[in-house]
Amino acid sequence: MAAWDPGADPLGLVRGLSGIAAPAGHEDRLTALVSEHLSARGLDPVVDRLGQVAVTINGRGDGPRTLVTAHLDELGLVVRGLDADGWLRVHRLGGMPERVLPGARLVVHTRDGDLPAVVGIKSHHLTPAEEKYVARPATDLYLDAGSGELGVRVGDPVTYAPEFDELAGGRFAGKSLDDRTGVAALLRYVDRLLESPPRQTVHVGFTTQEEFHVRGALALVARFSPDVVVNVDVAPATDTPDLAGAGAVRLGGGPTLSRLSFHGRGTLGGLIPHPGLVRAVEQAAASIGQTPQYDAMVGIITDAAFVPMASAEGIAAVGVGIPVRYTHSPVETAQLSDLLDTTELLVALTDRIRDEDLARGSAQLRNGGAA
């Protein structure tokens, strides 16, 4: 953990976080390391039964109880069966895209240790023409982990093999940048709050199982009863040729302010941010010379999706995003300056929240009903 220096080596921090396996529901390795890291900062982290880590940084005065979150877990697969010849059959654990799986390098996490594996792919020379452009569902695929006694059990989780590449222009690629970039930004944020205590008490939470059911944050809400929740996650970048016109989020453009996130499938969960917090993010960004990127996306869901309704009074929530290309693939790509700027925005926003009127129907919100 001594190698994790959020201030001096933020890229090394992200590299270290990315390389740790923490599939949804099995986050213990990262839970332990983050907890140890925070303890080394002189804090007293709380670890709940879900593996979530939270610390409280006492403020210099009164103000809205604030919770800032990012998720520890990553998506993956789970073993659902073992064929007689040793092939492993799987289910998806979260939104791992089947179209990137054939030929992928993976790791099966067993009670006896980590087991390298590859996803089988039909030999190109023997693939019929009608199959060459077809993405098969995960349940049709098989994992090849070698032969012999493997020690694999049904239910064992599987993740992408850890790889990390530094690209030109301050960019980098690796697995699970969703949401290890957010975790890195929050660890740096904690250090900044320790250097200069906030005016109000701030709780910082590292959640689990976001990629599975996006409800881990609700346990932290129950613990801390916040008035405000700021969720930090990735924002899918749309600056690649295949996404032209799909949005306005680009690498190097700084953190995003989410105006709408909606899953649109299954849970039907999402977040329309509190208009007072939209204004607070904008004003905080302006105070440090930033201009937030805006995103409004369908197909996206985060830990903040169910937070606003999690108390009798309602909770004001907003999402801040770090632009990432190729989300949920083993080569998620981000830019270091966006991560650094996110920490700066969080610090400025923490101070701005203290002065924000969060009452609905307030005079500031009556003109057209929008922030």
Could you tell me if 216 and 304 are in contact, meaning their C-beta atoms sit under 8 angstroms apart? no
- What would the pLDDT profile of 40-64 be if each residue is shown by its tens digit? 999 999 999 999 999 999 988 888 9
Domain 10-74+175-365, classified CATH 3.40.630.10, yes or no: yes
Other C-beta atoms closer than 10 Å to the C-beta of 283 total 14
Position 171 pLDDT exceeds 70: yes
pLDDT of residue 63: 86
Position 365 confidence tier, pLDDT thresholds 50, 70, 90: low
Calculate mean pLDDT across residues 163-167: 97
Position 368 pLDDT exceeds 60: no
What CATH number does the domain located at 77-160 have?
2.40.30.40
- What would the pLDDT profile of 195-218 be if each residue is shown by its tens digit? 999 999 999 999 999 999 999 899
- What would the pLDDT profile of 239-291 be if each residue is shown by its tens digit? 999 999 888 999 999 999 999 999 877 677 899 999 999 999 999 999 999 99
Position 126 pLDDT exceeds 90: no
Strand partners, 236: 324
Q: Three-state SS for 140?
A: helix
pLDDT of residue 37: 95
Distance CA 123, CA 19 (A): 30
Residue spans per domain, the chain: 10-74+175-365, 77-160
C-alpha closest to that of 158 among 240, 91, 61:
91
Position 366 confidence tier, pLDDT thresholds 50, 70, 90: low
Could you tell me if 171 and 334 are in contact, meaning their C-beta atoms sit under 8 angstroms apart? yes
Cα torsion angle, 166, 347, 8, 291, sign:
positive
- What would the pLDDT profile of 127-151 be if each residue is shown by its tens digit? 899 888 888 999 999 999 998 778 9
Could you tell me if 210 and 303 are in contact, meaning their C-beta atoms sit under 8 angstroms apart? yes
Helices (H), the chain: 10-18, 28-40, 177-195, 210-213, 217-224, 275-287, 336-353
Q: In Å, how far from its chain's centre is CA 135?
A: 26
Q: Three-state SS for 228?
A: strand
Cα torsion angle, 162, 120, 141, 86, sign:
negative
- What would the pLDDT profile of 338-352 be if each residue is shown by its tens digit? 999 999 999 999 999
Query: 3-state DSSP helix/strand/coil percent for the chain, to nearest 5?
Result: 30, 25, 45
